[in-house]
Structure 1
C-alpha cells in the first residue's frame, strides 16, 4: 500500500510540474503578445495625440 501511495504522489507531482510548465509557457507567451500589442496600442494613442495637436 505504501508503494501505491508513493506512485500516486509521483503522478500528482508530475502532473503539477506539467501544469506549472504549461502555465509558465503560456504566461511568457501572453506577456510577449501583450508587449507587442501594448506597443502597437501605445503607438496608436500617440498618433491620435499628434492628430489632436494638429487640428
Structure 2
C-alpha cells in the first residue's frame, strides 16, 4: 500500500468519526471498481479496533 502513515491515520479518523453515516455498500462497490477493496476492508477493521 502506498501513502504515508499520516494519510492512513487520517482515513481511520474519518471512518471512526463517520461510521454511522457511511454507506458501506457504496464504498465497497467503488473500492471494487478501483481495485482497493482489500485496503478498504483493512481500514474498516483498523478503525474499529482503534489501531493506527
Decide which structure has greater helix share: 1
- TM surpasses 0.5: no
> Could you state the TM-score of these two structures normalised by the residue count of structure 1?
0.30
Structure index of larger Rg: 1
Question: Which fold has the larger relative contact order, with Cα–Cα distance below 8 Å and residues 6 or more apart in sequence?
Answer: 2
